[in-house]
Amino acid sequence: MGTQVAPNNDQYARRSTIEEILEKQKELDEWLPITSSRNAKWWYSAFHNVTAMVGAGVLSLPYAMSELGWGPGVVVLVLSWVITLYTLWQMVEMHEMVPGKRFDRYHELGQYAFGEKLGLYIVVPQQLIVEVGINIVYMVTGGQSLQKFHDTVCPGCKKIKLTFFIMIFASVHFVLSHLPNFNSISGVSLAAAVMSVSYSTIAWTASLDKGVQPNVQYGYRAKSTSGTVFNFFNGLGDVAFAYAGHNVVLEIQATIPSTPQKPSKGPMWRGAVVAYIVVALCYFPVALIGYWMFGNSVDDNVLISLKKPAWLIATANMFVVIHVIGSYQIYAMPVFDMIEFALVAKLHFKPSKTLRFVTRNIYVAFTMFIAITLPFFGGLLSFFGGFAFAPTTYFLPCIMWLRICKPKKYGLSWWTNWICIVLGVCLMILAPIGGLRSIIIQAKDYKFYS
């Protein structure tokens, strides 16, 4: 009998240890911002995706068209819409591909596809570049839009540095960043989604009302062949930046309840389709009408090209501010999740409001500082757009699909994914070249904190 006691005790100890680990994991999941609330509806998916997707990048699309030209520009816009809708569908499908398991974060899906360590190394750096990069760019955008609002409403007032407007914009996030999870920012996200549709509509209707400008030209704006090529690459990056919602799609889906009978992919996909219809209604009119009216003289933010009526332009710029407030929070939430997970699970900090208060304030201050230091809006769009948005949006989901689902070789799914991968890799290589050149050109005349 004595020989049976030790194994039983060992089994009991192992069971107790497993139960403790599971209990701690449950407590952590209930505290982390991505998994703490799972009661979202399908329309949460719709406006979260609209907020994430229809960002300030839409205002740069006429400028991208001026760099790409009519034919290539339309092809790139349509192809991007189709490819990214397809890769979004893949990610929604893969969220619960393993029975009883949910891939609540992009890197968790990456770990399942590529292995524990390799998956982290592949996905996390790119996802962080995208999310932190967008937050920096949105700091710049928010500051620029506030400055434009001020200058439009009060043309005779003393000019105020962009630095101060970025700081004013950042002050909002020192408050909003303490909302605990995705569902708690749903009101902010809904307001942002409404604003994005509103300012996109103002941008193309005001352009249409202004009419085709005198002596409008649709040829490439650069005088040299090399300049035209680099600008073309820059335009590709601008378009890539406009389709960045994939970086938060699994995190958004994680907030939707799921059962074997009613998996989360149903409501998530319904919301995503609605979001993509809204994206098309925003992107295509702004890009095509904005370029049609202003030609290659259009600014990298089409609202800057629209000088009158002053009240409408001021309103549109304030809508942009409200939108990028919500969009900043959508992209910051997964970053907060990563930071808080690392501090609690790896460095053994105690989950607390104080920890959350300190880490989130430091993050907002960091993005504000970088935005103030490097406010190159157009160049940043293209550089970040190509360098990290292309992999996470255009071809990384396809690679994971091929590894996990293993479609029939040389079948339709196999060819579709490989075409997306080839196009995405080309985009990743070419777009940052144009973006970096644009930053260098703008930096020549730039004075820090001017």
Q: Delimit the domains of the chain by residue range.
A: 31-443
pLDDT in tens, the chain (450 residues): 444 445 566 665 555 566 666 667 777 777 888 877 778 888 888 888 888 877 667 878 888 888 888 888 899 899 989 999 999 999 999 988 888 788 888 888 999 989 888 988 988 888 888 888 888 888 988 998 898 888 888 887 888 888 899 999 999 999 999 888 878 888 888 898 898 888 888 888 888 888 777 787 777 776 778 778 878 887 887 787 777 778 888 888 888 888 878 888 889 999 999 999 998 998 999 899 888 888 887 877 777 777 667 788 888 888 889 998 988 999 899 999 999 988 988 888 888 889 999 999 999 999 999 888 877 655 565 566 567 778 888 889 999 999 988 888 888 999 999 999 998 888 888 877 766 776 777 666 666 665
Largest interatomic CA distance in the chain: 100
Residue in the block written with tokens 């590529």: 114
For the domain covering 31-443, report its CATH number: 1.20.1740.10
Nearest residue to 130 (alpha-carbon basis) of 429, 328, 385, 361: 385
DSSP 393-448: IIIHHHHHHHHHH-PPTTSHHHHHHHHHHHHHHHHHHHHHHHHHHHHHHHHTT--T
Sequence-separated contacts (24+) of 417-424 with Cβ below 8 Å: 420/83, 420/86, 420/87, 420/394, 420/395, 421/395, 423/79, 423/83, 423/394, 423/395, 424/83, 424/390, 424/391, 424/393, 424/394, 424/395, 424/396, 424/398
